[in-house]
Chains A and B, each alone.
Chain A
Amino acid sequence: MSVAVNVSPNSTSLAASKRFAKSFKGIIFHKGWLAILMVLVIWQIISFFLGGRGLVPSPARTAATMWGVLASGEFFVQLGDSLVRLLIGFVLAMTLGMIVGVLMGSRWFWNEFFKDIVILGLSLPGLVYALLSVVIFGTKLLAPVMAILFASYPFIAVNIREGVKALDKDLLDMTQAYKIGKWKVVQQVIIPSLLPHILAAIRTGFTIAWKASVLTEVFGATSGIGYMIRFNFQMFAVRGILAWSLLFGGVMILIEYGILVPAERHFARWRPQILEEV
């Protein structure tokens, strides 16, 4: 008996459109929307009672200000300034955090050497680094860069240290038995093993870096998102403070879902649990 199998030429595109529909459905029915809706309702209720005194503007009026800031193009100019500072500081923090993390994870001496400094770094709030940087470096580029570097490197170092400690000795023994060259081991065994920890370090470190960067701009900068928040504060423009802060948050969410989550999905495609989560 023969069985006719109908293979449609459009089956690939059909699968792709099904995937798109699924992810679109995922966005529409994303549980996070419910939480956002809840916050908006609470916000609306609070503004109804306190809005009269101009303390809490309504979500709709804040949205209008946000649109104004976006439409005028000012947001993108200020965001550009903030991003340059952030990227320089974050690259330095990643470099220092990786070096310290690798040393701490691989050698007992270096773990003991750096342990207390890193704990101190983790416990100090970003505000301290922001204030100190402004006092020392004034409004120069170095101020936010240093604040970002010292505020976020300990979080990166801790994540990387855990990754190095969790390296699978059995896999390293296997590479030794097969006489695999050191560089190849680094490229194909150590870095992929560390990737989940590197991504966690980027995510945590980046959040801390953003906060430190904006704080430094609040206290000592002549441009950037933090500067605009301070400017609105001085003008007692609550709507402006909220609009700039929310837009800043929006950029963070875009970076999370636009860069970090897809990167994590790509690098962790060999892990079944990640595929199920996504």
Chain B
Amino acid sequence: MAATAVSVKDLVKCFGDLRVLDNVSFDVEESSLTTIVGFSGCGKSTLLNVLAGIETTTSGIAEVSSSKNLSARLGYVFQSPRLLPWLTIEQNLVFVRPDAVDEATHLERVHKYLEMVGLKNVRHKFPYQLSGGMQQRAGIARALCIEPAVLLMDEPFSHLDEITAGGMREEMLRIWQETRRTILFVTHDMQEAVELGDRLIMLDYHGRIFVDIKIDLPRPRNLTDRVFIEFYSDVVRHLQAMQTIRAEELAALGVS
């Protein structure tokens, strides 16, 4: 059995009186691609922020570990690329060099991953000179170039048009299969979650795990295949069940 890369146990996160994550517990195996889905405001991004150390936990544990000797704990691909606009693409990647890695080694990695995402030729350009898709690819290269134990991805393709996003998904899968990094991928797009992940965690409106299922569909996945459609339909049924429970809760509270 593969080692555990991410361990979340009884995690609670509150912002004032608002409980955003409620007793969330799960483990993620090394080299796996886990998708986390849920509606807006269900705590998906907060979960990643807690793992990244941007937010603190209210109670419980959220840990990232690795059996491999890696220089960095985690890389983060955000919803928007969050590149420093005054640095070139290459400088943006150089900027995140972990202290443990010497400059020459890091620069080698920067070039390797820029090549991998197809941006080596535009590495001296500023972010504004690139398209949205290219900027997001630069964000992915930045996360990869520190060779992290875990890659956190927070709806990285949601700002892109569907054609670009489709291409980016294929590219991301290729990179994942090439690097075998552990990926935690947050999305609100159920189809994207089923297409990419080998496990799906669905959070409900209260920031609790509603469904945790293994996606054992063969790769490459074809969205028009019968097995894919059947699995996707199952996920949608879970989603509808969650919505029904929510509607009943609101009705009990007298909210229409």
Contacts and interface: CB of A to CB of B under 8 A. Distances in A.
A18 B231 CA distance: 63
Contacts of A177: 52-54, 74, 76, 152
B96 interface: yes
Given A174-B78, A192-B86, A270 B128 contact: yes
A179 to B, nearest CB: 7
Nearest to B88: A270
Interface string A239-278: 0000000000000000000000000000001111000000
Nearest to A188: B95
Interface string B8-34: 000000000000000000000000000
Given A189-B84, A272-B128, A181 B76 contact: no
Given A177-B54, A178-B96, A270 B85 contact: yes
B128 A176 contact: no
A173 interface: yes
Interface string A142-161: 00000000000000000000
The binding surface of chain A is classed by DSSP as: helix
A173 B85 contact: no
A229 B99 CA distance: 59
Interface in A177-201: 177-181, 184, 188-189, 192
Interface string B69-95: 000111110101010111100000001
A171 interface: yes
Instruction: Tell which of B72, B80, B82, B87 has the most Cβ of chain A within 10 Å.
Output: B82
A176 B84 contact: no
Nearest to B142: A178
A181 B99 contact: yes
B80 A188 contact: no
Contacts of B133: none
Nearest to B96: A178
A189 B146 CA distance: 19
Contacts of B146: 178
Contacts of A173: 49, 54, 82
Contacts of A192: 84, 86
A269 B126 CA distance: 9
A170 B139 CA distance: 13
Contact of A174 (B73, B82, B86): B82
A7 to B, nearest CB: 19
Contacts of B85: 270-271
A177 B152 CA distance: 10
Nearest to A273: B128
A188 B84 contact: yes
B54 A176 contact: yes
A174 B53 CA distance: 10
Given A178-B96, A192-B86, A170 B78 contact: yes
A109 B138 CA distance: 39
Contact of A180 (B74, B75, B87, B95): B95
Given A188-B95, A192-B86, 5 more contacts: A174-B82, A176-B54, A189-B84, A270-B86, A271-B128
12 contacts: A173-B49, A173-B54, A174-B78, A176-B54, A177-B54, A179-B72, A184-B95, A188-B87, A189-B84, A192-B84, A269-B126, A271-B85
The 5 closest A-B pairs by CB, nearest first: A177-B52, A177-B76, A174-B82, A192-B86, A270-B86
